[in-house]
Amino acid sequence: AIPLLADLAAPLPGRGALPPRAHLHSDAPRQLLDGTWQVRLHPSPRHAVDDGWQQPDARLDPADWSPVTVPGHLPLQGHGSPIYANVDYPFPVDPPFPPDDNPVADHRLELVAAPEVLAHPTVLRFEGVDGAATVWLNGVELGTLRGSRLTTELPCAGVLRPGTNVLAVRLAQWSAHSYLEDQDMWWMPGIFRSVTLLARPQGGVRDVFVHAGYDHRDGSGTLRVEVELEEGADAPATISVPALDLHGVAAGVEHRLPSVAPWTAETPVLYDAQVATATETVHLRIGFRTVTVEDATLLLNGTPLLFRGVNRHEHDPHRGRVVDLATARAELLLMKQHHVNAVRTSHYPPRAEFLDLADELGFYVILENDLETHGFERVGWRGNPSDDPQWLPAYHDRMRRTVERDKNHPSILLWSLGNEAGTGANLDAIAQWTRDRDPDRLVHYEGDWRSRHVDVYSRMYASVPEVEAIATEPPAETFTDPDEQHRRRLPFMLCEYAHAMGNGPGGLSEYQDLFHRYPRLAGGFIWEWVEHALAGGTTDDGRPVQLYGGDFGERVHDGSFVVDGVVHADKTPGPALADLARVFAPVSLDLAPDLSTLTVVNRYHSLDLSHLEAVWTSDGDGSGAGTPIPLPEVPAGGSAVVPLHLPPSALATTVTVLLRRRAAGDGCPAGHEVAWTQHVPARPVAALENDPVAPRRIGGGLVELGPAAFDERTGMPVRLGELALHDVAVSLWRAPTENDRGVASEEPDLPPVADRWAAARLDDLRTRLVEVGEDGPALVVRTRTGPPVLDAGVDVTWRWTSDGTALALDLTVEPYGSWPCDWGRVGVDLRLAEPTTRVSWTGWGPGPQYPDTGQAARYGSFVADRDDYAVRTVRPQEHGARRVDEATVELDTRALRVRGAGLPLTVRPWSRAVVAATRHDHELPAATETWISVDAAVSGVGTASCGPGVLPGYRLAPSPQRLHVLLQQVDRLR
């Protein structure tokens, strides 16, 4: 028998750990063991030799060992490779057994313990070890580690000694616990968080549990600090909170404080506190707040709370789940700047210090246990550990370690039992344990829609109509089932929604409108904050390579489904982040159509608007200094109608009203825009400026019309000024977005729209010239365009005119026959034989817009270089359309000007066929040409990559369409 095999198959908690406790900031000595360790690998536990390698005097062959950085993931340091699988277990579902094919990594570190650490009993703390490990110090087994994202403390008193010590960790990738760690992310074993030796002074502070409540009725606070001491204390601990005039008061008793400042994410007031014994002092920051549910409404300090949340995984494109604190802080500041006020720590506790940042910067946190058994869904949930008693100790152990480590953080309002772990008695048991242990917080778990054991009704990816139906359910009394009654009394939230994969998410505003309308709705958490692409170096021409599932030779994988965030893996914002900020804005502004008034709705939880100034500007994008608008006092939750007194001439201009910060604060600089709205006047239709010129035949099968030449055989223009035009055609297709490739949750029996387009051969339209004629000064071309196989298509009339300078097109598109699918877009494509360098435009920007995205876009003048205009995504897809009134597509020496009224314009160096067929951005060919589309209409994008498809109002059913556009070759701008 191989003991390690038996160990790895045990569905039990690890051995040898001390009871879990809070992660405390203590003055006791400590020694960080992060750095360079040595590692050697075995392909399986059956090959892991017992050669005494754990012993200090072991004779080791240096050739077997190589350096590895701790914290780090082994596959990102050349030892094995990452595996990305979402729901599927990448091994047979044979619980509790792991597969034999199970990489084992022996780690060794020689260390000399610091004298100040050695002067006390010591513990060895592991904050995150991905996989299942056994730990030896100087050849003595200290214990085993289970629960990859959870802290373990192993006592090492009597084993740690002066001089050199040898720490040995044998880490297997797979174990029984892998069944509990099926989160949608990379499988990457390794000691990926810090390892520390902690001195534990006798009589020191072992654990602290702060209970700090706020009573909004009288502004008072209550404070009770439970303290557990290490052995050997001769006096109890004392508590000091100098700012509250508490000096050396007793632990365990409740102190009533007549006046405290409450903690909220908007006012993250923290009180410095010390808990001290004769031998140890720990420092805490206390926040007073109370979270409750009343009338199916979530309340913080007595006031309804709205989560403007994101799901956050820890991810770094180079280091995986090793995320340094500076990066975590930068992430949180970026969230602040985009009005995110809540984080669900999907799907495990983050590194401990993240919660310090959340307390300090102000975020509401749903802290999630390290638990997911989603892969059992594939086998009808047979054998799901959540309902099998042999796993109860492991469930209990994980939940306990989750709660105990982070229990002192005011930012945490809810504990989450885990994610996608089905239902079962073990979940019910840990819900009950959590409520008993921490009655001051709420319990969350999405996986049980009966919500019997939770305090909020939580769902993921529910559609807008479904959320509205939940918001307006009949009262609890009307239900006969007691579970239903209970659920009806709970507030509702979306722990995941708006799947931010590729081009999207579409439809954010519709959810937010519901959240604002119905008090039962406590908001939601976008899926997800950050994309999990892994860095794969650069191409020969310097483009970054970003990798996803399947790129490491995995046989079981879920491709690019791991790349689905509003922020790229390197933490640079994607276009959705700006849209999110607009939708999440804590103040709503509405301009009366005659500009007489501005309606201001304060959607903050507790702030009034005194930190903001309002200004208006005219005829720009709002970036100017602006004229102040005096704002009345608008308390949190209140609204005001503000008279504007703008000059009457303003109506004919673009008026932008902005609310911006008066001073720096809340993670934002002074002047940071918090909300805006815009009045865009009707603009004149772009028209030819001079008298029309007539078409004339110029030989060679060409017809000249002003600056353009047409090929009589096709009826299509082939030249505009000095520009050769190629492949001019009507098109109904777009390069499928990842949302287009998904099955929409409201249409589970229908194929993805991308497949419907493919079945209808929307990407392969053929055109027949019907006639080329003249109508006065117009060249009128009629074509019929349709896909092979089908008898449906579009009849197109191209009416071209010119004044000798520009070329105008009036296009009508009439569908005929019975169309089997909606369209991706309707417009005109053309190709230029040289690459664009940049695009400047007047219209909406700077980000892209589809009918259900682009909430951040406003009217103004913008410039973007080629890549920014095209919007490159890790997996290539349709993106980058802006609605333009006028745009200049610059080439090396010349430019093409496009004019129309808010026309969706797409510019990129590749055809849609190339975009659709390319799996990675870095595989796209170098830019040698320019593909331009000017559209009459485009479809929304929805979120069918996971969740609902395009809302009905944003779909593009086959329908008559018109397009009016002016084209002109101009000189390149300087």
Just list the catalytic residues: 420, 496
Residue 878 binds ligand IPT (CB under 6 A): no
Placement of tokens 């009016």 in the chain: 964
Instruction: Rule CB under 6 A: choose which of 386, 419, 737, 873 binds ligand IPT.
Output: 419
Please choose, from the candidates 447, 381, 387, the residue with its C-alpha nearest in 3D space to the C-alpha of residue 417. 447
Nearer to ligand IPT, 499 or 899 (CB): 499
Please report which helix (H) or strand (E) contains residue 6, including its range: helix 3-8
DSSP letter assigned to residue 35: E
Smallest gap from residue 461 Cβ to ligand IPT (A): 5
Q: Are 641 and 627 in contact (CB under 8 A)?
A: no
What is the number of alpha carbons within 13 Å of residue 272 lying toward its C-beta?
A: 4
Smallest gap from residue 328 Cβ to ligand IPT (A): 20
Helix (H, G, I), strand (E, B) or coil at 748: coil
Nearer to ligand IPT, 496 or 890 (CB): 496
Placement of tokens 């395009």 in the chain: 950
- Build a one-symbol-per-residue string for 345-384: x at contacts with ligand IPT by CB under 6 A, - elsewhere: --x-------------------------------------
Distances (CA, A) of 74 to 45, 321, 322: 17, 12, 12
Residue 944 binds ligand IPT (CB under 6 A): no
Residue 494 binds ligand IPT (CB under 6 A): no
Residue 127 binds ligand IPT (CB under 6 A): no
Smallest gap from residue 450 Cβ to ligand IPT (A): 18
Q: Which two tokens stand for residue 405?
A: 């480590």
* Sign of the four-CA dihedral 927, 932, 933, 939: positive
Phi and psi angles of residue 651, each rounded to the nearest 5 degrees, phi first: -55, -30
Placement of tokens 């959705």 in the chain: 576
Residue 530 binds ligand IPT (CB under 6 A): no
Residue 604 binds ligand IPT (CB under 6 A): no
Q: Which of residues 38-67 bind ligand IPT (CB under 6 A)?
A: none
Nearer to ligand IPT, 564 or 621 (CB): 564
DSSP letter assigned to residue 925: P
Instruction: Rule CB under 6 A: choose which of 86, 384, 930, 968 binds ligand IPT.
Output: 86
Q: Own/partner pairs for 781-788, CB < 8 Å, 24+ apart?
A: 781/710, 781/715, 781/716, 782/715, 783/715, 783/730, 784/816, 785/729, 785/730, 786/817, 787/760, 787/761, 787/762, 788/761, 788/764
Residue 548 binds ligand IPT (CB under 6 A): no
Residue 803 binds ligand IPT (CB under 6 A): no
Q: Which two tokens stand for residue 283?
A: 């420092």
Nearer to ligand IPT, 496 or 740 (CB): 496
Number of residues that bind ligand IPT (CB under 6 A): 13
Please choose, from the candidates 684, 939, 683, the residue with its C-alpha nearest in 3D space to the C-alpha of residue 824. 939
Smallest gap from residue 562 Cβ to ligand IPT (A): 8
d(CA 964, CA 800): 10
Smallest gap from residue 50 Cβ to ligand IPT (A): 38
Residue 496 binds ligand IPT (CB under 6 A): yes
Nearer to ligand IPT, 145 or 526 (CB): 526
CA–CA–CA angle 102, 107, 111 (5° rounding)? 165
Report how far Cα 272 is from the mean position of its chain's Cα atoms.
32
Nearer to ligand IPT, 269 or 743 (CB): 743
Residue 493 binds ligand IPT (CB under 6 A): no
Residue by residue, DSSP assigns 403-431 as HHHHTT-TTEEEEE--SS----HHHHHHH
**Closest residue to ligand IPT, Cβ-based?**
184
Instruction: Rule CB under 6 A: choose which of 533, 946, 950, 956 binds ligand IPT.
Output: 946
DSSP letter assigned to residue 64: G
Instruction: Rule CB under 6 A: choose which of 280, 368, 406, 564 binds ligand IPT.
Output: 564
d(CA 29, CA 114): 9
Strands 364-368 and 544-547: unpaired
- Build a one-symbol-per-residue string for 448-467: x at contacts with ligand IPT by CB under 6 A, - elsewhere: ------------xx------
Burial 460-484 (b: 16+ CB within 10 A, else e): bbbbbeebbebbebeeeeebeeeee
Smallest gap from residue 345 Cβ to ligand IPT (A): 12
Smallest gap from residue 471 Cβ to ligand IPT (A): 21
Q: Which of residues 167-226 bind ligand IPT (CB under 6 A)?
A: 184
Smallest gap from residue 93 Cβ to ligand IPT (A): 17
Residue 387 binds ligand IPT (CB under 6 A): no
Smallest gap from residue 369 Cβ to ligand IPT (A): 13
Q: What angle, 0 to 180 degrees and rounded to 10, lies between the N-to-C axes of helices 353-361 and 325-337? A: 30
CA–CA–CA angle 324, 325, 326 (5° rounding)? 95
What is the number of alpha carbons within 13 Å of residue 706 lying toward its C-beta?
A: 25
Smallest gap from residue 87 Cβ to ligand IPT (A): 7
Residue 148 binds ligand IPT (CB under 6 A): no
Nearer to ligand IPT, 327 or 745 (CB): 745
Distances (CA, A) of 689 to 252, 693, 962: 84, 12, 21
Q: Which of residues 825-844 bind ligand IPT (CB under 6 A)?
A: none
Amino acid at 551: D
Nearer to ligand IPT, 546 or 945 (CB): 945
Smallest gap from residue 745 Cβ to ligand IPT (A): 9
Please choose, from the candidates 382, 418, 376, the residue with its C-alpha nearest in 3D space to the C-alpha of residue 397. 418
Please report which helix (H) or strand (E) contains residue 40, including its range: strand 35-42
Q: Which of residues 309-348 bind ligand IPT (CB under 6 A)?
A: 347
SS (H, E, C) 857-901: CEEEEEEEEHHHHHCCCCCCCCCCCEEEEEEEEECCCEEEEEEEE
What is the number of alpha carbons within 13 Å of residue 667 lying toward its C-beta?
A: 24
Please choose, from the candidates 676, 735, 671, 706, the residue with its C-alpha nearest in 3D space to the C-alpha of residue 915. 735
Q: Which of residues 225-264 bind ligand IPT (CB under 6 A)?
A: none
Smallest gap from residue 460 Cβ to ligand IPT (A): 5
Smallest gap from residue 749 Cβ to ligand IPT (A): 17
Give contact residues for ligand IPT (rule: CB under 6 A). 86, 184, 347, 419-420, 460-461, 496, 499, 527, 561, 564, 946
